Amino acid sequence: MIDKSLQQLLRQTSNIVALTGAGVSAESGIPTFRDAQQGMWANFDPMELATLEGFLRQPHKVWDWYQQRREMAAKAQPNAAHLALAEWQEQLEQCLIVTQNVDGLHQRAGSLHVIELHGNLHRDRPISQQLPAEKAADLPRCPETGNVLRPDVVWFGEMLPEGAMEQALSAIEVSDLVLSIGTSAVVQPAASIPLHALENGVPVVEINPETTELSSAADWSLRGSAADVVPQLVAAAQLHYSRDRLSR
Ligand code: OAD
C-alpha cells in the first residue's frame, strides 16, 4: 500500500498538515454523516438539526440530538488513527491537525495542535436571538447573559471560527505533506484545504476506504480504514526518526 516513493517522502517529512473528517472517528463507533445506510444524514435531516433556523424552530429537539451525540462521543475512545497522529505530532517539527470533527477525540488521544473547523460538541455558546418564553422553557441558559445556550458547533450556512481557515492555509503553505483522512471532501471550505496544498505543490495523501471527490487529484489515494492505514504511515516515517536518533 505504501509504495517506495511515498516511503521516501514520509522519511523526509518534518512538517505535516492532516485534515480529518468523520471517517477518522468511525472506528471509535461514531457514525459518519454521508454513509448510505448508517450515516447521520441518512437518518436525520440536517436542515432541522444543523442549522440556526432549525434550532430556533425546535430547540428542544436539536438539544436532545446533540445531547445524545455528546454522550456517544464521551463514551467513545480514541482509535489507532487518533493515537498514531498524536504520536507523530510528538516526533515531527510541525504536525497540525485540522479537523472537521466535533468529538474531541484527537485531543483525548493526546494531540495538542488541533484546529477545530466545525467547533466542539462538548462546548456551549449563547445565541443572540430571543426565543418566545414557551419555546425557551427548560433550555440551558448562559449564567452571565441569561441567553439560551446552543452547542458550539458550526451549522450549515454559518461562519467557521475566526482565523481557523487562514491558520490552516498558512500552515499548508510551509508544509511538506498534507493528509486527507476519512473525509468525503465535499463540505466547503474544508474541502478546499487539500486543493490548496496541490496548488502550492505540496503532495497530498488521501486515506479513505472509498473513492472521494479528492481521489483523482491526490498524489496517493490509499484505500483502507484510518485505524489501519494511519499507523502504517507513522511506522514508515518512524524508520527515519530512529535512524536519525542513532546517528546523533
Ligand atoms: P462524511 O460523512 O461526509 O464522510 C466520511 C468519509 O469517511 C467518507 O468518505 C467515508 O468513505 C470515510 N470513512 C468511513 N469509514 C472510514 C474509516 N474507518 N476510515 C477512514 N475513512 C472512513 O464526513 P465529513 O467529510 O467529515 O459538518 O463531513 C464533513 C462535514 O459534513 C461534517 O463536519 C459535518 C457534516 O455535515 C457539520 O455538521 C457542519
Type and span of the H or E element at 243: helix 226-247
What pairs with residue 119 in β-bridges?
153
Which pLDDT score is estimated for 244?
54
Residue 243 scores a pLDDT above 70 = no
% the chain with pLDDT above 70: 96
Q: Can you tell me which atom of ligand 1 is nearest the CA of 212?
A: 9
- For 193-242, the pLDDT digits (tens) are 999 999 999 999 999 999 999 999 999 999 999 999 999 999 999 866 65
Q: Take residue 88 and report the three cell numbers written for it.
A: 507523530
> Whole-angstrom Cα distance, residue 24 to residue 99?
10
% the chain with pLDDT above 90: 88
For ligand 1, the distance from its centroid to the CA atom of residue 57, given in whole angstroms, is: 27
Output the CA angle 210-173-11, nearest 5 degrees: 65
Could you state, in order of their start, the residue ranges of all structural domains in the chain?
1-29+77-118+161-248, 31-75+123-153
Place of cell 472521494: 212
Q: What is the DSSP letter of 32?
A: -
- For 46-71, the pLDDT digits (tens) are 899 999 999 999 999 999 999 999 99
For domain 1-29+77-118+161-248, the CATH architecture is 3-Layer(aba) Sandwich (3.40)
Pocket of ligand 1 (CB under 6 A): 21-23, 26-27, 32-34, 39, 50, 100, 118, 154, 182-184, 187, 208-210, 212, 225-226
126 is in an annotated binding site: no
Residue 248 scores a pLDDT above 50 = no
| pTM check: above 0.85 | yes
Residues in the chain: 248
CATH number of 31-75+123-153: 3.30.1600.10
**Residue 92 pLDDT class (50, 70, 90 cuts):** very high
